[in-house]
Amino acid sequence: MSLMIAHEQGLDVRVVAHGSSSPGRGSEQGALLVLPDSDIQSAADLEGRTVAVNSLESLTEVMVRDAIATEGGDPDAVELVELSLGDMQAALENGDVDAITTFEPFTTIGEQDGARSVYQIFDLTESGRTFIAGYFTSGAFAEENPDLVEAFTAAIGESLDFAEENPDEVRAIVPTYLDLDQSIIDEMAMPLFGSEMDIDGAQELADIVTDYGVLEQPMDVREFFVLPEGAE
């Protein structure tokens, strides 16, 4: 969503390849977590409560507000505070916040420490396949170097398809980049990799964040995606 905001603000960005998306509805890749003895049983119960997010005026904020609205609550009747993902569990345990908004591996870390999930936040879109990350360049570079961009997209796509088809290989390489207990690596939910860019899903996401005022105007996401030849 950061790229959507950048595009709306006039920056010359173009998405050239998929990075990752949430894998579907019900995925624990992202969740609203509360203490095990909390009286919060659903997202609607977050009315009047304090919820930690990793960034304000962001996709995370939209996810929290939409979760509350979906379950029948008032999305404006929640206090959101910005905390880093690494600080959220301690804030929850200390009583500084009533709920935290986590993404893997912090969802699994929190649950292993006793936190309880009350909502899967990536259920934001109809399919649950929320576009999370992509590879991008400037529009000028893409127009001046179409062969290079095409080759890059193909190479990244090959690696993403391999990752999607070989999740054990992905888990095996995680310790190269993150210092995590093996139990967390084994249990954490994986994102959807793969080379296919879900343009319709990205458009649905843009429409949702526009409804919540993060984007000021409706957006056609095809304006800043570099699509393969023949793609609609």
The DSSP line for 18-74 is EEEE--STT-TTEEEEE-TT-S--SGGGGTT-EEEESSSSSHHHHHHHHHHHHTTS-
Q: Are residues 35 and 112 in the same domain?
A: yes
pLDDT tens digits along 109-163: 999 999 999 999 988 888 778 888 999 999 999 999 999 999 999 999 999 999 9
Domain boundary among 124, 144, 162: 124
Could you identify the residue written with the tokens 């001046």? 144
Q: 197 in helix, strand or coil?
A: coil
Whether 53 and 110 share a structural domain? yes
18-62: per-residue pLDDT in tens? 999 988 777 778 999 999 999 999 999 999 999 999 999 888 999
Of 79, 106, 124, which closes a domain? 124
Q: Report the distance separating Cα 145 and Cα 83, nearest Å.
A: 40
Q: The pTM is what?
A: 0.89
15 and 39 both lie in a single domain? no
With respect to residue 232, please indicate whether it lies within any of the assigned structural domains. Answer: no
Range of the domain at 113: 30-124
The reply to whether 230 falls in a domain is: no
